[in-house]
Amino acid sequence: MKKIIIILASLVIVFSVQAQSKKEAKKSKIKSATEWQTVYENGKASTYKFSYEEYDRNGNTLTKIEYGPDGTILKKETAKYDSYQNKTEETEFNVAKKKTIIRTFKYNAFRDKTEEVEYNGSGTVMKKTVFTYDANGNKASETISDGSGMITKKTTYTYNAKNLKTGKKVVSGTNIPESEKKYEYEYF
Protein backbone atom coordinates (compact mmCIF):
# COMPACT_ATOMS: atom_id res chain seq x y z
CA MET A 1 0.00 0.00 0.00
CA LYS A 2 2.85 2.38 0.86
CA LYS A 3 4.44 1.72 -2.54
CA ILE A 4 1.19 2.64 -4.31
CA ILE A 5 0.93 5.89 -2.35
CA ILE A 6 4.56 6.77 -3.09
CA ILE A 7 4.06 6.02 -6.79
CA LEU A 8 0.86 8.09 -6.91
CA ALA A 9 2.53 10.97 -5.06
CA SER A 10 5.46 10.82 -7.49
CA LEU A 11 3.11 10.91 -10.47
CA VAL A 12 1.28 13.88 -9.00
CA ILE A 13 4.59 15.72 -8.61
CA VAL A 14 5.64 14.89 -12.17
CA PHE A 15 2.28 15.76 -13.72
CA SER A 16 1.32 18.70 -11.50
CA VAL A 17 0.38 21.84 -13.38
CA GLN A 18 -0.17 25.41 -12.38
CA ALA A 19 -3.40 25.91 -10.48
CA GLN A 20 -4.26 28.87 -12.72
CA SER A 21 -3.08 29.98 -16.12
CA LYS A 22 -1.37 33.34 -16.54
CA LYS A 23 -4.51 34.68 -18.20
CA GLU A 24 -6.77 33.47 -15.36
CA ALA A 25 -4.43 34.83 -12.67
CA LYS A 26 -4.40 38.26 -14.30
CA LYS A 27 -8.14 38.37 -15.05
CA SER A 28 -9.11 37.22 -11.56
CA LYS A 29 -6.45 39.41 -9.89
CA ILE A 30 -4.95 36.40 -8.10
CA LYS A 31 -1.99 37.32 -5.90
CA SER A 32 -1.12 33.77 -4.83
CA ALA A 33 -2.40 30.20 -5.05
CA THR A 34 -1.81 27.32 -2.66
CA GLU A 35 -2.36 23.70 -3.66
CA TRP A 36 -3.15 21.20 -0.89
CA GLN A 37 -2.86 17.44 -1.29
CA THR A 38 -4.56 14.72 0.71
CA VAL A 39 -3.04 11.24 0.73
CA TYR A 40 -4.92 8.25 2.16
CA GLU A 41 -2.93 5.53 3.85
CA ASN A 42 -4.72 2.64 5.56
CA GLY A 43 -7.93 4.67 5.58
CA LYS A 44 -6.30 7.65 7.31
CA ALA A 45 -6.16 11.00 5.51
CA SER A 46 -3.04 13.12 5.64
CA THR A 47 -3.21 16.62 4.14
CA TYR A 48 -0.24 18.84 3.40
CA LYS A 49 0.66 21.93 1.41
CA PHE A 50 1.79 20.62 -1.97
CA SER A 51 2.72 23.88 -3.72
CA TYR A 52 2.51 27.65 -3.49
CA GLU A 53 2.64 30.19 -6.34
CA GLU A 54 2.82 33.94 -6.16
CA TYR A 55 1.94 36.18 -9.14
CA ASP A 56 2.45 39.79 -10.17
CA ARG A 57 -0.42 41.98 -11.43
CA ASN A 58 0.18 40.70 -14.99
CA GLY A 59 -0.28 37.05 -14.03
CA ASN A 60 3.43 36.22 -14.24
CA THR A 61 4.66 33.66 -11.71
CA LEU A 62 7.12 35.35 -9.34
CA THR A 63 7.63 32.48 -6.90
CA LYS A 64 6.80 28.79 -7.07
CA ILE A 65 7.50 26.43 -4.17
CA GLU A 66 6.96 22.65 -4.07
CA TYR A 67 6.68 20.93 -0.68
CA GLY A 68 7.12 17.39 0.55
CA PRO A 69 4.56 15.60 2.74
CA ASP A 70 6.57 16.55 5.83
CA GLY A 71 6.37 20.26 4.94
CA THR A 72 9.96 20.61 3.76
CA ILE A 73 10.69 22.62 0.65
CA LEU A 74 11.67 20.36 -2.26
CA LYS A 75 12.08 22.99 -4.95
CA LYS A 76 11.83 26.77 -5.13
CA GLU A 77 11.77 28.91 -8.26
CA THR A 78 11.71 32.69 -8.53
CA ALA A 79 11.45 34.88 -11.63
CA LYS A 80 11.84 38.50 -12.71
CA TYR A 81 10.24 40.18 -15.75
CA ASP A 82 10.86 43.33 -17.78
CA SER A 83 8.25 45.96 -18.63
CA TYR A 84 7.23 43.90 -21.72
CA GLN A 85 6.47 40.83 -19.56
CA ASN A 86 9.52 38.95 -20.85
CA LYS A 87 11.16 36.75 -18.23
CA THR A 88 14.61 38.24 -17.63
CA GLU A 89 15.84 36.02 -14.81
CA GLU A 90 14.87 32.84 -13.03
CA THR A 91 16.44 31.10 -10.08
CA GLU A 92 15.80 27.44 -9.32
CA PHE A 93 16.86 25.80 -6.07
CA ASN A 94 16.53 22.03 -5.85
CA VAL A 95 16.87 20.96 -2.21
CA ALA A 96 17.36 17.24 -2.94
CA LYS A 97 20.22 17.95 -5.32
CA LYS A 98 21.46 20.89 -3.21
CA LYS A 99 21.80 22.76 -6.48
CA THR A 100 21.02 26.32 -7.49
CA ILE A 101 20.64 27.30 -11.13
CA ILE A 102 20.25 30.88 -12.29
CA ARG A 103 19.13 31.67 -15.83
CA THR A 104 19.15 35.09 -17.48
CA PHE A 105 17.35 35.97 -20.70
CA LYS A 106 17.79 38.71 -23.31
CA TYR A 107 15.38 39.75 -26.06
CA ASN A 108 15.46 41.75 -29.28
CA ALA A 109 13.20 44.69 -30.17
CA PHE A 110 10.56 42.22 -31.43
CA ARG A 111 10.53 40.48 -28.01
CA ASP A 112 12.14 37.34 -29.39
CA LYS A 113 14.50 35.61 -26.96
CA THR A 114 18.06 36.12 -28.25
CA GLU A 115 20.10 34.72 -25.37
CA GLU A 116 19.74 32.41 -22.39
CA VAL A 117 22.64 32.00 -19.97
CA GLU A 118 22.68 29.38 -17.21
CA TYR A 119 24.84 29.90 -14.12
CA ASN A 120 25.53 27.69 -11.13
CA GLY A 121 24.98 28.99 -7.60
CA SER A 122 28.46 30.53 -7.55
CA GLY A 123 27.76 32.63 -10.65
CA THR A 124 29.90 30.58 -13.03
CA VAL A 125 28.50 30.26 -16.56
CA MET A 126 27.51 26.65 -17.21
CA LYS A 127 25.71 27.00 -20.54
CA LYS A 128 24.84 29.75 -23.01
CA THR A 129 22.25 29.52 -25.77
CA VAL A 130 22.06 32.14 -28.53
CA PHE A 131 19.01 32.41 -30.80
CA THR A 132 18.88 34.08 -34.22
CA TYR A 133 15.85 34.94 -36.34
CA ASP A 134 15.24 35.46 -40.04
CA ALA A 135 13.69 38.60 -41.57
CA ASN A 136 10.20 37.13 -41.03
CA GLY A 137 10.75 36.59 -37.30
CA ASN A 138 11.16 32.81 -37.54
CA LYS A 139 13.80 31.21 -35.34
CA ALA A 140 16.71 30.54 -37.70
CA SER A 141 19.22 28.99 -35.32
CA GLU A 142 19.94 27.99 -31.75
CA THR A 143 23.58 27.66 -30.70
CA ILE A 144 24.52 26.11 -27.34
CA SER A 145 27.93 26.66 -25.75
CA ASP A 146 29.41 25.31 -22.55
CA GLY A 147 30.85 27.46 -19.76
CA SER A 148 34.15 27.90 -21.57
CA GLY A 149 32.44 29.22 -24.71
CA MET A 150 32.95 26.03 -26.71
CA ILE A 151 29.98 25.28 -29.00
CA THR A 152 28.39 21.95 -28.03
CA LYS A 153 25.34 21.93 -30.31
CA LYS A 154 23.83 23.98 -33.11
CA THR A 155 20.30 23.72 -34.45
CA THR A 156 19.19 25.38 -37.68
CA TYR A 157 15.64 25.78 -38.93
CA THR A 158 14.27 26.27 -42.45
CA TYR A 159 10.87 27.60 -43.51
CA ASN A 160 8.75 27.73 -46.64
CA ALA A 161 7.18 30.81 -48.29
CA LYS A 162 4.23 30.56 -45.84
CA ASN A 163 6.67 30.73 -42.87
CA LEU A 164 5.92 27.14 -41.89
CA LYS A 165 8.87 25.15 -40.55
CA THR A 166 10.21 22.75 -43.20
CA GLY A 167 13.36 21.52 -41.53
CA LYS A 168 15.33 21.20 -38.32
CA LYS A 169 18.96 20.10 -38.37
CA VAL A 170 21.06 19.47 -35.26
CA VAL A 171 24.84 19.19 -35.37
CA SER A 172 27.40 18.73 -32.63
CA GLY A 173 29.97 21.33 -31.66
CA THR A 174 32.37 19.68 -34.11
CA ASN A 175 29.76 19.94 -36.90
CA ILE A 176 28.89 16.22 -36.87
CA PRO A 177 25.19 15.66 -37.75
CA GLU A 178 23.11 14.44 -34.79
CA SER A 179 19.57 14.56 -36.16
CA GLU A 180 17.47 16.02 -38.92
CA LYS A 181 13.71 16.50 -39.28
CA LYS A 182 11.71 17.49 -42.33
CA TYR A 183 8.18 18.81 -42.27
CA GLU A 184 5.75 18.48 -45.16
CA TYR A 185 2.32 20.07 -45.43
CA GLU A 186 -0.78 19.39 -47.46
CA TYR A 187 -3.00 22.33 -48.20
CA PHE A 188 -6.71 22.65 -49.00
Q: What confidence tens digit (pLDDT) does each residue in 123-151 have?
A: 999 999 999 999 999 999 999 999 999 99
Does residue 12 lie within any of the structural domains? yes
> Are 70 and 131 found together in one domain?
no
Let me know whether 184 and 105 are in one domain.
Answer: yes
Question: Which pLDDT belongs to residue 173?
Answer: 92
CA–CA separation, 108 and 106 (whole Å) = 7
Q: What is the CATH number of the domain that holds 111?
A: 2.40.128.720
Instruction: Say what the pLDDT of residue 25 is.
Output: 83
Q: Could you report the per-residue pLDDT of 29-40, keeping only the tens digit for each? A: 899 999 999 999
Q: What is the mean pLDDT of the chain?
A: 89
Same domain, 59 and 109: no
The whole-model pTM stands at 0.79
Identify the CA nearest to 143 among candidates 157, 158, 135, 153: 153
Does any domain span residue 84? no
Same domain? For 18 and 66 the reply is yes
Does a structural domain hold residue 167?
A: yes
- Domain shared by 109 and 177, yes or no: yes
Range of the domain at 5: 1-77
